[in-house]
């Protein structure tokens, strides 16, 4: 069995800073940003729900039960934390009449914020991004240095790592992916199979990004570069035109690394060699993703936070606000501030994306 690690380098020098996050549910607020204009009628009912103390899949089951639907009919764009306050969109098909959800929303942990109608089911990844409000408590470290680091992050961004939670507690998702690839036996639950393959793909990407950080080229192009856009899985080959250099300087495009899968890579020369080297370190994962039919795609190496704002409630309590594209991780921001740990609340391992 492969020995997995998440000891990847940071982009900026380590700060002598420690802090805790998610001490209380209210310390971690996530609101989905929708890019759809809802209507007054339509075949699918969209509900914006604020929840606490419940994860996305559990609430989806509750909605299915109350609306007398199959669970697969309930749509949502992404997984959100149980131990947080989250504002998330769900969709339900309207078969005859709108379901009566009064009993569900009479519970304190669920609040209906808005509703509307749309023509199709809400699918995974179909959102404009997520807005975060995170409170860091018991902050220990020089406040001026923290402010300077936050200014740097706002101007230059951070490496676009997948969060450690993607890999499961004690790397369980990666271990299951390796088992799937070695035996060819998929779990009956298709969602679990997808989660395992996604973990393997994310792990290879993080190692490629880590190598670029070590070589000081995570936010600058190298020979054979493939540029991408925030939140996009596509890329285009480096052309070295003046227009391209302007777009890079203005941070409208970003360097990228491969999301591994079958098919020829867009990367060439130096970047291709770097990606292949990291994939070859984990041959079971790389070959398994290809055999399972995952298509090779791209992911930007840089995550920008131009709307990052912060304020101090007191000398040891810091509030951060920022927006992220879908599939980007808040923990990738926190790791550039210092040793920021999750408060000990017997919290299960869940998604922070």
For 220, how many CA atoms within 13 A lie in the half-sphere containing its CB? Answer: 6
- Nearest-5° Cα angle at 320, 316 to 325: 155
**What are the distances in angstroms from CA 193 to CA 51, 176, 187, 196?**
27, 9, 6, 5
| Cβ(349)–Cβ(165) below 8 Å | yes
From the candidates 25, 27, 81, 219, give the one annotated as an active-site residue.
Answer: 81
φ, ψ (nearest 5 deg) of residue 283: -60, -35
| Cβ(323)–Cβ(33) below 8 Å | yes
DSSP 3-state percent helix, strand, coil across the chain (nearest 5)? 30, 25, 40
φ, ψ (nearest 5 deg) of residue 342: -75, 135
CB count within 10 Å of CB 81 equals 23
Burial (CB < 10 A; 0-12, 13-18, 19+), residue 66, is middle
Question: Pick from 4, 94, 113: which is nearest to 51 by CA?
Answer: 113
Question: Pick from 111, 119, 48: which is nearest to 77 by CA?
Answer: 48
| Cβ(104)–Cβ(58) below 8 Å | no
| Cβ(201)–Cβ(260) below 8 Å | yes
Characterize the bridge pairing of strands 158-159 and 44-52. unpaired
Residue 162 and residue 166: Cα distance in Å, rounded? 7
| Cβ(40)–Cβ(119) below 8 Å | no
* Catalytic-residue membership of 25: no
Catalytic residues: 81
């Amino acid at each position: 069995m492969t020995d997995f690690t998440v000891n990847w380098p940071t982009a900026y020098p380590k700060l002598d800073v420690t802090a805790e996050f998610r001490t209380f549910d209210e310390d971690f607020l996530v609101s989905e940003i929708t890019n759809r204009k809802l209507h007054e009628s339509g075949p699918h009912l969209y509900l914006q729900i604020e929840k606490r103390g419940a994860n996305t899949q559990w609430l989806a089951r509750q909605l299915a039960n109350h609306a007398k639907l199959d669970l697969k009919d309930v749509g949502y764009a992404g997984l959100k934390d149980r131990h947080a306050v989250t504002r998330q969109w769900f969709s339900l098909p309207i078969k005859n009449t709108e379901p009566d959800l009064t009993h569900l929303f009479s519970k304190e942990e669920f609040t209906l914020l808005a509703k509307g109608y749309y023509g199709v089911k809400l699918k995974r990844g179909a959102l404009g991004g997520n807005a975060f409000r995170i409170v860091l408590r018991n902050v220990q470290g020089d406040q001026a240095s923290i402010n300077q680091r936050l200014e740097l992050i706002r101007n230059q961004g951070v490496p676009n790592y997948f969060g450690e939670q993607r890999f499961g507690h004690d790397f369980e998702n990666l271990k299951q992916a390796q088992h799937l690839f070695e035996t060819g036996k998929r779990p009956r639950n298709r969602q679990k199979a997808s989660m395992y393959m996604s973990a393997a793909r994310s792990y290879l990407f993080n190692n490629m990004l880590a190598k670029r950080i070590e070589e000081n080229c995570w936010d600058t192009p190298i020979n054979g570069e493939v540029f991408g856009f925030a939140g996009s899985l596509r890329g285009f080959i480096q052309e070295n035109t003046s227009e391209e250099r302007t777009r890079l300087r203005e941070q409208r495009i970003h360097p990228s690394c491969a999301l591994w899968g079958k098919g020829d890579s867009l990367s060439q020369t130096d970047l291709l060699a770097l990606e292949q080297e990291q994939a070859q370190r984990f041959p079971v994962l790389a070959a398994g993703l290809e055999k399972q039919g995952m298509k090779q795609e791209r992911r930007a190496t840089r995550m920008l936070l131009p709307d990052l704002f912060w304020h101090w409630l007191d000398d040891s309590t810091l509030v951060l606000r920022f927006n992220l594209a879908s599939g980007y991780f808040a923990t990738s921001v926190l790791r550039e501030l210092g040793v920021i740990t999750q408060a000990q609340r017997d919290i299960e391992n869940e998604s922070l994306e």
